[in-house]
């Protein structure tokens, strides 16, 4: 669709330049620059109006008279061209739209939430070494023969960028998670069905794990339509089970929007009964499992990945679709287990209170 629109614009501009015999054909790369599309569209509209007026004039040069014979054919296609122009306008607006307006395209958390009857299995074997194994030398097959790190590339996924997480993004991801965890721990979250959410005495401050991030990135690179199995996302040197949240975005914004992804997970608190904190269970009516993983008290580490890819959805081409994946250790969402212990925030912290987030445990 995008190529057809651009070709139509090129043909139209060239034809109009000949008909009015007034200006050279503009540089097409200049025409197609995002910042100039609006001006060019206005220019095209003026040319069209000029043609409509000039075709009735008797004082025309021979080239114009010859070209004018084709004017009726061009006019008969103006409605179609006008529609193409509007499509170009819509495409341009989407590309210019701020990241905060991504909902205009499409986004959603992974629909299937994770819930475990017991804690997901942690790796039962470890690499056969006598010293800590460097991350690059991890024997993934010893953790699981079907480990996510061992998967072949998904050849059907048109990846444009594997989006390795930068230091600034790591800090942002942690800041957003810990902000929301602090809000709940303090008892300041008034939403719920019913609300408010009770405060937490023992919610840990999240820290970053490059190991979790590596596996999360590997799963994101599959352009998945769901979660990988919990047993296939373990990491070397850690015996905890690993939880997971996924978020999809399809549209045009070419920058990551971790704020939007994590906030979408957290906003499920709107449907969160304040009684579930004592004994976790999923609901039949609404999603809450992404929220509960974000604020699961025992979760200490998080690592995330994102992939950028092209796709066509309902006839529209999206050049910058994204799949965000965050893996958590230890996993939350264990059925009937408490999400956290209720009471005054950070009042039962075995290793003291976080210096950065006083409502959380260090």
Query: Which tens digits make up the pLDDT trace of 262-287?
Result: 999 999 999 999 999 999 999 999 99
Look at residue 315 and tell me whether its pLDDT is greater than 80: yes
Token code pair at residue 52: 């409509």
pLDDT given at position 96: 25
pLDDT given at position 250: 86
**Global pTM?**
0.67
The rounded distance, in Å, linking the Cα atoms of 61 and 25 is: 19
* Chain-centre distance for alpha carbon 213: 16
Cα dihedral: 187, 212, 163, 89 (round 10): -40
Strand segments (E) across 147-204: 158-161
Q: Give percent above pLDDT 70 in the chain.
A: 63
Tell me which range, 59-63, 157-161, 191-195, 254-258, is most confidently predicted by mean pLDDT. Answer: 191-195
Residue closest to 216 by CA, chosen among 205, 232, 240, 204: 232
Token code pair at residue 206: 């999240």
Q: Which fold has domain 107-329?
A: Pathogenesis-related Protein p14a (3.40.33)
Least confident stretch, 68-77, 218-227, 353-362? 68-77
Cα torsion angle, 123, 124, 128, 131, sign = positive
The rounded distance, in Å, linking the Cα atoms of 320 and 318 is: 6
Give tens-digit pLDDT for 30-55.
Answer: 433 433 444 444 555 555 556 555 54
Every domain range in the chain assigned CATH 3.40.33.10: 107-329
The rounded distance, in Å, linking the Cα atoms of 114 and 75 is: 58
């Amino acid at each position: 669709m995008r190529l057809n629109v651009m070709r139509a614009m090129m043909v139209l501009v060239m034809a109009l330049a000949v008909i009015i015999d007034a200006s050279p054909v503009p540089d097409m790369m200049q025409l197609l620059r995002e910042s100039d599309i609006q001006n060019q569209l206005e220019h095209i509209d003026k040319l069209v109006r000029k043609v409509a007026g000039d075709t009735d004039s008797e004082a025309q040069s021979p080239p114009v008279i010859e070209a004018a014979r084709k004017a009726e054919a061009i006019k008969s296609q103006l409605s179609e061209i006008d529609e193409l122009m509007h499509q170009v306008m819509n495409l341009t607006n989407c590309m210019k739209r701020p990241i905060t307006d991504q909902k205009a395209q499409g986004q959603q958390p992974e629909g299937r939430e994770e819930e475990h009857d017991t804690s997901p299995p942690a790796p039962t074997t470890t690499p056969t070494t006598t010293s800590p194994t460097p991350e690059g030398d991890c024997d993934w097959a010893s953790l699981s023969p079907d480990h996510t790190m061992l998967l072949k590339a998904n050849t059907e996924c048109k990846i444009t960028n594997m989006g390795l997480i930068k230091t600034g993004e790591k800090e942002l991801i942690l800041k957003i998670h810990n902000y929301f965890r602090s809000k709940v721990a303090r008892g300041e979250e008034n939403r719920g069905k019913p609300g408010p959410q009770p405060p937490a005495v023992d919610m840990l401050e999240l820290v970053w794990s490059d190991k979790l991030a590596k596996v999360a990135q590997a799963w994101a690179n599959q352009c998945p339509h769901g979660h990988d199995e919990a047993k296939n996302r373990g990491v070397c040197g850690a015996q905890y089970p690993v939880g997971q949240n996924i978020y999809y975005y399809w549209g045009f914004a070419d920058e990551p929007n971790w704020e939007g992804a994590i906030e979408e997970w957290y906003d499920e608190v709107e449907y969160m009964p304040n009684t579930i904190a004592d004994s976790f269970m999923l609901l039949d009516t609404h999603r809450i499992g992404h929220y509960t993983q974000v604020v699961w008290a025992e979760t200490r580490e998080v690592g995330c990945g994102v992939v950028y890819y092209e796709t066509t959805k309902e006839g529209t081409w999206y050049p910058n679709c994204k799949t965000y994946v965050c893996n958590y250790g230890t996993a939350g969402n264990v059925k009937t287990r408490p999400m956290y212990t209720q009471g005054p925030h950070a009042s039962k912290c075995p290793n003291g209170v976080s210096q950065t987030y006083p409502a959380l445990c260090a």
